[in-house]
């Protein structure tokens, strides 16, 4: 059992820079929490404060109800896996994995049993006599994981553990880490700037920007119900399209006008805009590339929200294709079925699924309706 509580956690570096501002998070036992956000947003700093590698400037951090702010790293019962693996080159796989236990004066027989157990889980049992240089990147990464697992810690911290692996290996290790989480029933906090990793691994994702938490939610909720423009733009690939639009409310119907087009919003979304007093105001319309379609069925279903444009770019992904286009000077794209006849330079019609339109306040950048 390991629950973590971070209350009003701050980090001010000695040069006065405030890297983490007011971090509040309750992590439950067995959760897989992801910290995600652009470079410099404070992911590693927060992780290092949890590990005890960085002093906490303010707030309270506890594990299972026990305050940890001033507890030595080695006494926190936390194991950290780094992106550079940090293996000892002169030691065998076995000794690398056993090292932490030896330091803790664990009896030899117990060390052997624990290392062999972890090696089996990680499929390293035939490599225990090798030195790190005789291993592949993925195998080295598994040794680094193994070193953490043998300690049976309360919490695993992982700082971009897959970032040094090639794309194929990364996908493979991703599913291995996911399986490992299930098997160990461990509490994991994992830092990445790769949003696919975040979406596939996390039970909850913490989106950070400039030392502030933007949103904490399950992957599906972050995708469908972003709380602000930043999260809407950060989660999802290709990125959500954004365009300024003028809101008009007539009766219980809200319309959004942008470029040469006008779309009608469904009743629930219309009501939010009416209640918020947005009549006549400029808002930001957001629509994911996946929610723009060019099939006859989509064009018929979403008659009240179609746009016409020219294809300025064409990118085949396989079963889908990304069509790039411009509305005024705003670059946008649609992800459609690759059987589409549309090609570069073609004039096309695209239907916006109006149920999927997101609207944001232009000033506060907060979501008005998802
Ligand atoms: N020792 C330090 N002194 C001053 N500022 C620091 C120090 N270490 C980090 N920072 C700053 O704190 C901010 C957060 O850094 P951090 O390493 O936590 O970011 P990150 O989100 O992990 O970024 P990345 O994805 O690039 O690793 C950055 O602006 C960084 O420049």
- For residue 301, give Cα distances in angstroms to 10, 79, 150, 252, 265: 50, 53, 57, 21, 14
Which of 2.40.50.140, 3.20.20.120, 3.40.720.10, 2.40.50.100 would CATH assign to domain 239-369? Answer: 2.40.50.100
Any ligand 1 atom below 6 A from CB of 44: yes
Number of helices and strands in the chain (H, E)? 10, 22
3-class DSSP assignment, residue 93: helix
Residue-level pLDDT at 174? 86
ipTM for the predicted complex: 0.97
Pairing of strands 32-36, 204-209: parallel
Closest C-alpha residue for ligand 1 atom 20:
40
Please state at what angle helix 137-149 crosses helix 93-103, rounded to 10 degrees.
20
- d(Cα 163, Cα 137) in Å, to the nearest integer? 11
Residue whose pair of structure tokens reads 């079963």 in the numeric block:
319
Closest C-alpha residue for ligand 1 atom 29:
40
Domain boundaries, the chain: 4-233, 239-369
Could you tell me the maximum CA-CA distance found in the chain, to the nearest angstrom? 78
Any ligand 1 atom below 6 A from CB of 15: yes
Contacts of 239 by beta carbon, 8 Å cutoff, 6+ apart = 233, 289
Closest C-alpha residue for ligand 1 atom 11:
19
Other CB atoms within a 10 A radius of the CB of residue 286 amount to: 23
**Measured in angstroms, how far is the CA atom of residue 367 from the centroid of ligand 1?**
28
**Measured in angstroms, how far is the CA atom of residue 198 from the centroid of ligand 1?**
20
Q: What is the 3-state secondary structure (H, E, C) of 187-237?
A: EEEEEECCHHHHHHHCCEEEEEECCEEEEEECHHHHHHCCCEHHHHHHCCC
Residue-level pLDDT at 238? 92
In the chain, which stretches have pLDDT less than 50? none
Any ligand 1 atom below 6 A from CB of 193: yes
Any ligand 1 atom below 6 A from CB of 88: no
Nearest to 92 by CA among 137, 121, 126, 138: 126
Residue whose pair of structure tokens reads 């002169």 in the numeric block:
90
Residue-level pLDDT at 74? 86
Any ligand 1 atom below 6 A from CB of 39: yes
* Ligand 1 atom with the shortest distance to the CA of 42: 18
Burial of 49 (C-beta count, 10 Å sphere; 0-12/13-18/19+) = buried
* Ligand 1 atom with the shortest distance to the CA of 47: 18
- d(Cα 234, Cα 218) in Å, to the nearest integer? 15
Contacts of 305 by beta carbon, 8 Å cutoff, 6+ apart = 263, 264, 351, 352, 353, 354, 357
CATH 3.40.50.300 fits 4-233, yes or no: yes
- d(Cα 324, Cα 330) in Å, to the nearest integer? 11
**Measured in angstroms, how far is the CA atom of residue 36 from the centroid of ligand 1?**
14
- pTM of the model as a whole: 0.91
Closest C-alpha residue for ligand 1 atom 19:
40
């Amino acid at each position: 059992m390991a629950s973590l509580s971070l209350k009003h956690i701050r980090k001010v570096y000695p040069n006065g820079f405030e890297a983490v501002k007011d971090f509040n998070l309750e992590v439950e036992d067995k959760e897989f929490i992801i910290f995600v956000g652009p470079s410099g947003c404070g992911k590693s700093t927060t992780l290092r404060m949890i590990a005890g590698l960085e002093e906490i400037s303010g707030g309270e951090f506890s594990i299972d109800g026990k305050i940890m702010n001033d507890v030595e790293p080695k006494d926190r019962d936390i194991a950290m896996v780094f992106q550079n693996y940090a293996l000892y080159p002169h030691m065998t796989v076995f000794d690398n994995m056993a090292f932490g236990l030896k330091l803790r004066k664990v009896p030899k027989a117990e060390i052997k049993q624990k290392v062999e157990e972890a090696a089996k889980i990680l499929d390293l049992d035939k490599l225990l006599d090798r030195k790190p240089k005789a291993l592949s990147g993925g195998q080295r990464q598994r040794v680094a994981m193994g070193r953490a697992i043998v300690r049976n810690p309360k919490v695993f911290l992982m700082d971009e553990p897959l970032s040094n692996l090639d794309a194929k290996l990364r996908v493979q290790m991703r599913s291995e880490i996911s399986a490992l989480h299930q098997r160990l029933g461990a509490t994991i906090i994992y830092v990445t700037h790769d949003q696919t990793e975040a979406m596939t691994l996390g039970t909850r994702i913490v989106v950070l920007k400039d030392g502030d938490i933007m949103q904490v939610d399950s992957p599906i909720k972050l995708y469908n119900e972003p709380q602000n423009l930043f999260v809407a733009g950060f989660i999802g690939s290709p990125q959500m399209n954004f365009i300024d639009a003028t809101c008009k409310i007539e009766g219980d119907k809200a319309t959004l006008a942008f470029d040469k087009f006008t779309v009608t919003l469904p009743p629930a979304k219309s009501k939010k805009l009416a209640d918020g007093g947005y009549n006549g105001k400029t808002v930001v319309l957001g629509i994911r590339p996946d929610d723009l379609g060019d099939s006859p069925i989509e064009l018929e279903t979403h008659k009240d929200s179609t746009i016409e444009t020219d294809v300025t770019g064409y990118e085949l992904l396989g079963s889908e294709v990304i069509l790039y286009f411009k509305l005024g000077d705003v670059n946008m794209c649609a992800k459609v079925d690759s059987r589409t006849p549309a090609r570069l330079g073609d004039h096309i019609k695209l239907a916006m699924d109006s149920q999927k339109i997101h609207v944001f306040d232009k000033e506060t950048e907060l979501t008005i309706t998802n």
